[in-house]
């Protein structure tokens, strides 16, 4: 029993299932984004979302919303814990803060 618990805890790919999803894509001068909104499911730290049926190329200036399917892959408890512990350190990689002397700003 402990061996089964341990292998499930370290498993990167736990339970998986398909859900309907809405994909919102925009490639314009105002915004470049692609958001996937899985329907009827709560995502937790470490879970993976694989979106199916996404166009391979998107023209500049395009903006659309389309229904598709997403596969949710649940993380094991150890992966979930590790994700929570490391997320604070990793979020700091997304921004940079610097201070310049007042003389340099003039």
**Total domain count, the chain:** 1
Give pTM, 2 decimals.
0.66
pLDDT category at 106 given cuts 50, 70, 90 is: low
User: What is the pLDDT, as a whole number, of residue 92?
Assistant: 73
Between the alpha carbon of residue 85 and those of residues 75, 76, 90, 91, the distances in Å are 14, 14, 10, 11
CA 78, CA 3: separation in Å to the nearest integer? 14
Q: Which domain holds residue 31?
A: 2-95
Q: Is residue 101 in a domain?
A: no
Q: Is residue 102 in a domain?
A: no
Q: Is residue 90 in a domain?
A: yes
User: What is the pLDDT, as a whole number, of residue 75?
Assistant: 93
Q: Is residue 65 in a domain?
A: yes
Q: Is residue 85 in a domain?
A: yes
> pLDDT tens digits for 62-93?
999 999 999 999 999 999 999 988 887 777 77
Q: Are 23 and 36 in contact (CB under 8 A)?
A: yes
> pLDDT tens digits for 5-47?
444 444 455 599 999 999 999 999 999 999 999 999 999 999 9
């Amino acid at each position: 029993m402990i061996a089964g618990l341990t292998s499930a805890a370290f498993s990167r790919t736990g339970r998986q299932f398909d859900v309907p999803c809405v994909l919102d894509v925009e490639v314009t001068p105002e915004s470049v984004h692609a958001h996937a909104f899985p329907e009827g499911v709560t995502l937790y730290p470490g879970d993976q979302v694989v979106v199916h049926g996404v166009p391979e190329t998107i023209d500049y200036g395009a903006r659309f919303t389309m229904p598709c399917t997403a596969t949710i892959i649940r993380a094991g408890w150890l992966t979930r814990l590790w994700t929570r512990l490391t997320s604070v350190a990793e979020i700091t990689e997304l921004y940079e803060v610097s201070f310049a002397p007042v003389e340099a700003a003039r």
